[in-house]
């Protein structure tokens, strides 16, 4: 694959690569990485484990930052601030070249909407920046929906030796499409919902940590639960009507907490919690911490209410 044609032009380039097997994958990604190294560009690769191993063995260069996306990007909301922007911001004044594969066949139905929104929001998060982010899609294993969504979230499409401008590019539409009412818990162990105010933040932290302990989370993860629930409640109070509701439940795989509150606008900036905070900024880091610490973050806004749902993977699910 000759990457000169597809990558000529805009400061920011965001192509989707469709591949069917490891031969296709390496035929496109190895030249992409080597071209970046030859150009003196900082290069990072964040892809699922098997693809990471294959590409790392093929390139064999310690100058590349190699990350397992199943760990670094388990929560899709963490990828822009913690992987993509974190890497690009470490190299000011230089064009960053990144392979990011946030969607793989093992992603759950709960995770996929957040993944699709993430792909759409990359375009806004990197607008005007010198960077190239290539996103591979396994066309033999991913759903037709995922492949179709890729044509809406990426302005440039690549398959084999062909590349073309996507006629369906509409990232904002994808953000809106997956701003769905969050599904009801179903057959799970639920905890009675509790209301909170600025005066009861300590109480709800203790409430959440108690459920985390009973669910078997480690002391460190219990601390993370306390931080996440506190930050979400504080966000509700700061940007809403000073009260909110906190609910929780346990599924086969996760401990889940949900906050909801009414806000004056009923809206949430889609990039909230997804952009690194400047060093001088003392406030506005709460949702960044939520994305960093939780294993999955889902949101929904309906014009009157904002809902956050956070998942913490249970130890027995991690062991499977």
Domain ranges of the chain: 4-177, 189-319
Mean pLDDT score of the chain, rounded to an integer? 92
pLDDT score, position 282: 66
pLDDT score, position 263: 76
Q: Is the pLDDT of residue 4 over 70?
A: no
**The two structure tokens encoding residue 197:** 């105010």
User: How far apart (Å, rounded) are the C-alpha atoms in residues 196 and 18?
Assistant: 47
pLDDT score, position 163: 94
pLDDT score, position 281: 67
Interval 110-120 mean pLDDT = 98
Residue 265 pLDDT class (50, 70, 90 cuts): low
Let me know: does 79 contact 105? Beta carbons within 8 Å. no
Interval 250-276 mean pLDDT = 88
How many other CB atoms sit within 10 Å of the CB of residue 246?
22
What's the pTM? 0.94
pLDDT score, position 247: 94
pLDDT score, position 280: 67
User: How far apart (Å, rounded) are the C-alpha atoms in residues 238 and 198?
Assistant: 9
SS (H, E, C) the chain: CCCHHHHCCCCEECEEEEECCHHHHHHHHHHHHHHHHHCCCCEEEEECHHHHHHHHHHHCCCCEEEEEHHHHCCCHHHHHHHHHHHHHHCCCCCCEEEEECCCCCCCCCCCHHHHHHHHHHHHHHCCCCCEEEEEEEECCCCCHHHHHHHHHHCCEEEECCEEEECCCCCHHHHHHHCCCCCCCCCCCEEEEEEEECCCCHHHHHHHHHHHHHHCCCCHHHHHHHHHHHHHHHHHHHHHCCCCEEEEEEECCCEEEEEEEEECCCCCCCCCCCCCCCCCCCCCCCHHHHHHHHCCEEEEEECCCEEEEEEEEECHHHHHC
pLDDT score, position 228: 98
pLDDT score, position 67: 98
Q: Is the pLDDT of residue 179 over 70?
A: yes
Nearest to 65 by CA among 98, 17, 110, 104: 98
Write down how long the chain is.
320
Residue 278 pLDDT class (50, 70, 90 cuts): confident
pLDDT above 90: percentage of residues in the chain: 79
pLDDT score, position 187: 66
User: How far apart (Å, rounded) are the C-alpha atoms in residues 90 and 269?
Assistant: 25
Which CATH number does 4-177 carry? 3.40.50.300
pLDDT score, position 5: 54
CATH class, range 189-319: alpha beta
Interval 284-302 mean pLDDT = 94
Q: Is the pLDDT of residue 319 over 70?
A: no
pLDDT score, position 191: 81
Residue 262 pLDDT class (50, 70, 90 cuts): confident
């Amino acid at each position: 694959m000759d990457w000169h044609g597809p990558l000529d032009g805009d400061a920011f380039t965001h192509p989707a690569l469709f591949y069917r097997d490891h031969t296709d994958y390496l035929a496109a990604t190895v030249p992409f990485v080597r071209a970046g190294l030859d150009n003196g560009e900082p290069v990072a690769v964040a892809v699922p484990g098997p693809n990471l191993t294959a590409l790392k063995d093929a390139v064999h260069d310690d100058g590349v930052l190699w990350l397992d996306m199943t760990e670094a990007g388990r929560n899709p909301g963490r990828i822009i601030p913690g992987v993509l922007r974190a890497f690009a911001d470490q190299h000011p004044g230089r064009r960053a070249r990144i392979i990011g594969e946030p969607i793989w066949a093992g992603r759950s139905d709960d995770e996929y909407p957040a993944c699709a929104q993430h792909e759409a929001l990359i375009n806004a998060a990197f607008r005007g920046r010198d960077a190239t982010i290539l996103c591979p899609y396994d066309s033999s294993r991913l759903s037709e929906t995922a492949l179709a969504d890729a044509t809406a979230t990426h302005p440039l499409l690549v398959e084999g030796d062909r590349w073309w401008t996507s006629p369906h590019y509409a990232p904002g539409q994808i953000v809106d499409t997956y701003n769905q009412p969050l599904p009801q818990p179903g057959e799970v162990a639920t905890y009675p919902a509790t209301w909170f105010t600025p005066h009861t933040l300590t109480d709800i932290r203790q409430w959440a940590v108690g459920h985390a302990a009973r669910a078997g989370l480690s002391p460190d993860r219990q601390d993370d639960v306390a931080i996440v629930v506190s930050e979400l409640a504080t966000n509700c109070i700061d940007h809403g009507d000073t009260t909110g509701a906190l609910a929780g439940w346990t599924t086969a795989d996760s401990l889940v907490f949900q906050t909801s509150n009414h806000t004056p606008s009923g809206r949430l900036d889609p990039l909230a919690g997804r952009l690194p905070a400047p060093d001088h900024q003392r406030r506005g880091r709460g949702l960044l911490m939520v994305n960093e610490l939780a294993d999955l973050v889902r949101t929904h806004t309906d014009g009157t209410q904002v809902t956050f749902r956070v998942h913490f993977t249970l130890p027995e699910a991690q062991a499977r």
